[in-house]
Amino acid sequence: MSTDSPASGAGSATTPIVKLTDVNKHYGQLHVLQNINLEVSKGEVVVVLGPSGSGKSTLCRAINRLETIDSGSIEIDGQVLPEEGKMLAKLRADVGMVFQSFNLFAHKSILENVTLGPIKVKNMKKAEANKLALSLLERVGVANQKDKLPAQLSGGQQQRVAIARALAMRPKVMLFDEPTSALDPEMINEVLDTMVGLAKEGMTMIVVTHEMGFARKAADRVIFMADGQIVEQAAPEQFFTNPQSVRAKDFLGKLITH
Ligand SMILES: Nc1ncnc2c1ncn2[C@@H]1O[C@H](COP(=O)(O)OP(=O)(O)OP(=O)(O)O)[C@@H](O)[C@H]1O
Ligand SMILES: [Mg+2]
């Protein structure tokens, strides 16, 4: 499909968008990522579950190179994430990230929050960036808020702006780290609906969430982490109805009784 020459290094249609090979990371004595092997195909939606402290956020942050790793490799669409430099900046632009806290620029308008990346990192002309931003804000349902400041929006609206901002970089994969856990309950669904829409459009996604409804509805695969390891992975129905490991059974049992 890609018209890029092989020299550009872009992966073929079958190249995983994200590939982790024997990834290890320590925080001092803590072996926070232990021999992680993971491939995510184009268009695949992977939900990452696991108890607090199991390494889910660290995994996301490593894929976006916000954290270094000690050994192993991480490839984005066939290209190894380098330690630093221009190539890192380019590959990082391929990975969109949405966090629990929205991290919007407080003193910039909603529109500017979305156009900033394309203008600064991709050298897009302002008019073109505005057009792109408006279409993305439209898509996440907040185009009518474009001239406001982030603080003038609800949490759910801000998180949808954060999603639009990440999409404006035309990422190959979107990482979500508990995108709804800081939201008031009535705002959770508007953000999840936006994410379900993205999944349906074929976006490759890795989603850390406690929203089991989302996992059942949108995930192709559930990954269960505990103590820095991928303990189990399966299709959502299979995982929820017939977890294999003691850790996963325990985790799901606690969810149901709460
Ligand atoms: N910068 C850091 N320095 C030292 N230890 C850290 C650091 N970041 C995380 N850790 C530790 O690494 C482990 C994994 O943390 P991580 O945030 O990846 O877990 P998590 O699965 O995302 O948990 P939660 O569900 O609570 O978000 C935890 O024990 C945490 O205390
Ligand atoms: Mg976390």
* pLDDT, tens only, 211-226: 999 999 999 999 999 9
* Residue 55 Cβ contacting ligand 1 at under 6 Å: yes
**Nearest C-alpha to atom 27 of ligand 1 is from which residue?**
52
CA-CA-CA-CA torsion sign (118, 58, 199, 72): positive
Alpha-carbon span 54 to 74, nearest angstrom: 19
Helix (H) or strand (E) holding 225: strand 221-226
pTM: 0.93
Q: What pLDDT, on the 0 to 100 scale, is given for residue 8? A: 44
Phi then psi for 19, rounded to 5 degrees? -140, 120
Residues of the chain with pLDDT under 50: 1-8
Distance from the alpha carbon of residue 242 to the mean position of ligand 1, in angstroms: 28
Are the C-beta atoms of residues 98 and 174 closer than 8 Å to each other?
Answer: yes
* Among 24, 58, 69, 100, residue to substitute to test ligand 1 (most atoms within 8 Å of Cβ): 58
Q: What pLDDT, on the 0 to 100 scale, is given for residue 90? A: 83
* Residue 29 Cβ contacting ligand 1 at under 6 Å: no
Q: What pLDDT, on the 0 to 100 scale, is given for residue 2? A: 43
**Nearest C-alpha to atom 18 of ligand 1 is from which residue?**
55
* Among 29, 30, 31, residue to substitute to test ligand 1 (most atoms within 8 Å of Cβ): 30
Q: What pLDDT, on the 0 to 100 scale, is given for residue 145? A: 97
In ligand 1, which atom is closest to the CA atom of 67? 1
Helix (H) or strand (E) holding 196: helix 185-200
* Residue 54 Cβ contacting ligand 1 at under 6 Å: yes
* Residue 53 Cβ contacting ligand 1 at under 6 Å: yes
Q: What pLDDT, on the 0 to 100 scale, is given for residue 257? A: 57
Distance from the alpha carbon of residue 11 to the mean position of ligand 1, in angstroms: 32
Structure tokens at 18: 């994200």
In ligand 1, which atom is closest to the CA atom of 58? 18
Overall residue count recorded for the chain in this entry = 258
* Residue 30 Cβ contacting ligand 1 at under 6 Å: yes
Distance from the alpha carbon of residue 54 to the mean position of ligand 2, in angstroms: 8
Q: What pLDDT, on the 0 to 100 scale, is given for residue 92? A: 86
Longest distance between any two alpha carbons in the chain, whole Å: 55
Q: Which-ligand-closest: CA of 58? A: 1
* Residue 105 Cβ contacting ligand 1 at under 6 Å: no
Are the C-beta atoms of residues 55 and 70 closer than 8 Å to each other?
Answer: no
Q: What count of other Cβ atoms lies within 10 Å of the Cβ of residue 163?
A: 26
**Nearest C-alpha to atom 30 of ligand 1 is from which residue?**
53
* Residue 181 Cβ contacting ligand 1 at under 6 Å: no
Class of residue 244 by CB neighbours under 10 A (exposed 0-12, middle 13-18, buried 19+): middle
